[in-house]
Structure 1
Amino acid sequence: MTVRPALDVYTARVPMARPFAHAAHARRTSESVLVRCSLAGATGWGEGAPRTYVTGEDLTSAAQALLNTEPPDWEGVFTGSFEDGVRALAALDLPGTLGGPGRPAPAAAAALETALLDAWCRTHDRDAADALALAAAPGVLASAPRIRASALVLDSSRGPERLLGALSPEALAHLTHIKVKALPDPRATQQLVRQVREFIDPAAGTVSVDANGAWQDPATALRAAALLADHVSWLEEPTRPRDWATLHRIQRDTGCPVMLDESAVTPADLDSAHAHAAATYVNVRVSKCGGPLGALRMLARARALGLRCQLGVQVAEVGPLWASGRLLAAWAADLVAVESGRQDEWFAPDLTTPAYAVDRVRHRAAPLPGPGFGLTPDGLPLRHIGRAGAPARHPETPTTTRTSA
């Protein structure tokens, strides 16, 4: 007998304690869509972070996708064993189901997939790590978790002296990677990287630059790569998304390795990049890739193509995304870097149970104990939008509530 989930859709906007800015966008408030899944007496939570400059989704479109799209046929999904349910969920194309033809909705799918997986794991009193192990292709996950040092991200709202100069010698010594958000001017970005390098031991730490697609003119992107090639380990998303020809020229002509981010949302994107020799690395993010199982598929395809991966985050994740990302970061094999965000600095500690926790000396964020992903957003100010799959195909009148699982 199939167990059918009951799905409620919420949105959350939470002011950040300080802004986060890069060449493509500046953010002062979180924007997340959340799904609460009630399944066989258990409650699971999922989150997506829709960003127009990443997947084309915004908060409204992601919520509407969850409310107004015919839900998947649940027959045969949540029935039988824990293992059968995980494998059936992994076989669904939720980004495609929630989006239109040629327009997947991965952030909406991430909220739905994570909520379903969290609830199914809690129903069976299992850790979400058990579900990932069932769904992952061989070699994608390690045999045991490893808590890596998280990358430190320098955005344009703070300079190197303000961010790195405030760290203790011990905290500086434990840094393994610094990601520098690019400035509009390539020469100024080169100078910024040189300032950052003054704070770290080059034998112990690496530096990358993330342009977020800001250098859209191919000549500018190529000039930037030439200026940065001797100073960074890779250049992330240096030009407009999926400009495979320019990305190929950057790698061929400047010798600067490219990391894809906005250009790599689906495994098909990785196939295109590989066919054009346009990338060496990929930034995999849970929301961008359609959920933790979607992220596993991206990791598997990258591995098959010989592309190495970073496990990244969306700026201002407010709960379930943070928890699922920490779990993947601990278990994914052969990562070049991981990110953990700065939720503990941006948001009040009582928004989630447990609260966000990052060791800011060793730059480590451990996965949470289960069952499920181990986190509930019971302190978040959530706006209830409606119930997914309900007969009415229009959102309910929004109400604001603080919910508890």
Structure 2
Amino acid sequence: MEIASIETFRGGIPLHTPFKTALRTVTVAETIIVKIACEDGTVGWGEAPPTHVITGDSLASIQYAIESIFKPILIGESLNAREQLFEKVEESMVRNTSAKAAIDMALYDCIAQQANMPLHQFLGGYRERIETDYTVSVNRPEEMAQDARKYINNGFSVLKVKVGKDEIATDIKRIQAIRAEIGPDVLIRLDANQGWQAKEAVRAIGKMEDLGLTIELIEQPVNAHDFEGLKYVTQHTETPIMADESVFSPQDAKRILSMGAADLINIKLMKAGGIHQAMKIAKLAESYGVDCMVGSMIETKIGITAAAHFAASQPNITRYDFDAPLMLTGDMVNGGITYKDSRIELGKEPGLGIRSMNQSFIVE
């Protein structure tokens, strides 16, 4: 089955509430959508949002990479030689991981449809359904506590709380306010988005431990390139530490794992360059006995569907951060994963199960 055409579209969906982290504030989910059509009529979908502060990718750079670099080397190629396809994409450009991810997930969608299997089954089929957390954006402590209560009332039992934007004392007040509002039984994960220095992170986490705030894990407390600092925090705290922005590639993962610099790894398709490279990271982590989370940027249901299928396929991917479509005011596509409160159903349709695109959210 040969690739007949590759098209790109710019899309945008407003968020119903601004998404705030230590790195940025997002009000509209902008994205580049990829449509790969094969000669037999099979259609695969992918997407890539611009996340300048993490991947360095913009709408323009993503679209250029797909249209000018990947499209010429893929059209006319056979899906039967899929390892060659993924090799061509990876070697054709350095970095540009978001653009690579969009092409990668569209290719996997076509390949799994060719195999007549849902993508998660094609990749390994470890789980049939998963459960996402919900993110509490960084705001005033009282506002974050109210948001946390709302999400719990909406059926979520795991919260991912953003910190790292202000002084650590303020972050501790935020967690105290949330705990006071929702009680001790709800799982809380913290994401500092590189907002702390290593020694102050150790002091902050130690204070949270002494206060009995019961944090499940803390994600990326220090700068992405500060591997030694990440190791210092991991070695000097009891709370598990997760590497996120520090791990883009399998090479990054190997360094983190061999150093013992983190207890867990957060894999994102937009960092890894798609499922093909993400699978290598997951397998490498598994060889070290390390569990992974799969998360996302602010993506529409296209990207989250691909990420969810990948996450459900592997045994050591035990945590899921797929709430982005729930933050949007509409759906970019018909089909894909479905939500019931925090539970995600992957569906039984071949590939990603995406049937069509919603034209009302296409920008141009």
The TM-score bracket by the shorter chain reads 0.7 to 0.9
- Verify: 1:245 aligned to 2:228, yes or no: yes
Name 1:120's counterpart in structure 2. Answer: 111
User: 2:53 is paired with a residue of what secondary structure?
Assistant: helix
- Verify: 1:44 aligned to 2:21, yes or no: no
Query: Do 2:192 and 2:218's aligned partners in 1 also have CA atoms closer than 8 Å?
Result: yes
CA distance in 1 between partners of 2:68 and 2:76 (Å) = 23
Q: Deviations over 1:245-275 (max 9, x none)?
A: 1111112223343211111111111111123
Task: State the one-letter code of the partner of 1:20.
Answer: F
Q: Of residues 333, 338, 343 in structure 1, which corresponds to 2:315?
A: 333
- The offset of 1:19, in angstroms, is 0.9
Tell me the percent identity.
Answer: 20
Task: State the one-letter code of the partner of 2:284.
Answer: R
Task: State the one-letter code of the partner of 1:323.
Answer: T
- The offset of 1:96, in angstroms, is 4.0
Name 2:351's counterpart in structure 1. Answer: 372
CA distance in 1 between partners of 2:154 and 2:15 (Å) = 27
Name 2:130's counterpart in structure 1. Answer: 148
CA distance in 2 between partners of 1:157 and 1:108 (Å) = 32
Query: Do 1:343 and 1:356's aligned partners in 2 also have CA atoms closer than 8 Å?
Result: no
Name 1:392's counterpart in structure 2. Answer: none
- By percentage of residues, which structure has more helix? 2
- The offset of 1:370, in angstroms, is 1.9
Query: Do 2:334 and 2:357's aligned partners in 1 also have CA atoms closer than 8 Å?
Result: yes
User: 1:92 is paired with a residue of what secondary structure?
Assistant: helix
- The offset of 1:341, in angstroms, is 1.2
Gapped runs of 5+ residues in structure 1?
134-140, 384-399, 401-405
- The offset of 1:229, in angstroms, is 4.3
Name 2:295's counterpart in structure 1. Answer: 312
Query: Do 1:4 and 1:78's aligned partners in 2 also have CA atoms closer than 8 Å?
Result: yes
User: 1:30 is paired with a residue of what secondary structure?
Assistant: strand
- The offset of 1:85, in angstroms, is 4.3
Name 1:395's counterpart in structure 2. Answer: none
Query: Do 1:352 and 1:377's aligned partners in 2 also have CA atoms closer than 8 Å?
Result: yes
- Verify: 1:293 aligned to 2:276, yes or no: yes
Any residues of structure 2 matched to 1:60-79 within 5 Å, and which? Answer: 60-69=60-69, 78=78
Name 1:17's counterpart in structure 2. Answer: 16
Any residues of structure 2 matched to 1:321-400 within 5 Å, and which? Answer: 321-349=303-331, 351-354=332-335, 357-360=338-341, 363-376=342-355, 378-380=357-359, 381-383=361-363, 400=364
Any residues of structure 2 matched to 1:269-288 within 5 Å, and which? Answer: 269-288=252-271
May I ask how many residue pairs the two structures share in their alignment? 356
Task: State the one-letter code of the partner of 1:126.
Answer: M
User: 1:306 is paired with a residue of what secondary structure?
Assistant: coil
Query: Do 1:154 and 1:178's aligned partners in 2 also have CA atoms closer than 8 Å?
Result: yes
Q: TM-score of the superposition, structure 1-length normalised? A: 0.79
Q: Of residues 184, 207, 214 in structure 2, which corresponds to 1:227?
A: 207
- The offset of 1:184, in angstroms, is 1.9
- The offset of 1:304, in angstroms, is 1.5
CA distance 1:22–1:117, shift in 2 (3 Å): same
CA distance in 2 between partners of 1:306 and 1:341 (Å) = 27
- RMSD of aligned residue pairs (Cα, Å): 2.7
- By percentage of residues, which structure has more strand? 2
- Verify: 1:164 aligned to 2:148, yes or no: yes
Following TM superposition, the consecutive aligned residue runs of length 4 or more in structure 1 with deviations greater than 6 angstroms are: none
Query: Do 1:214 and 1:240's aligned partners in 2 also have CA atoms closer than 8 Å?
Result: yes
CA distance 1:212–1:165, shift in 2 (3 Å): same
CA distance in 1 between partners of 2:153 and 2:193 (Å) = 30
CA distance 1:120–1:156, shift in 2 (3 Å): same
User: 1:254 is paired with a residue of what secondary structure?
Assistant: coil
- The offset of 1:15, in angstroms, is 1.9
User: 1:234 is paired with a residue of what secondary structure?
Assistant: strand
User: 1:178 is paired with a residue of what secondary structure?
Assistant: strand
Task: State the one-letter code of the partner of 2:285.
Answer: A
- The offset of 1:227, in angstroms, is 2.9
CA distance 1:45–1:297, shift in 2 (3 Å): same
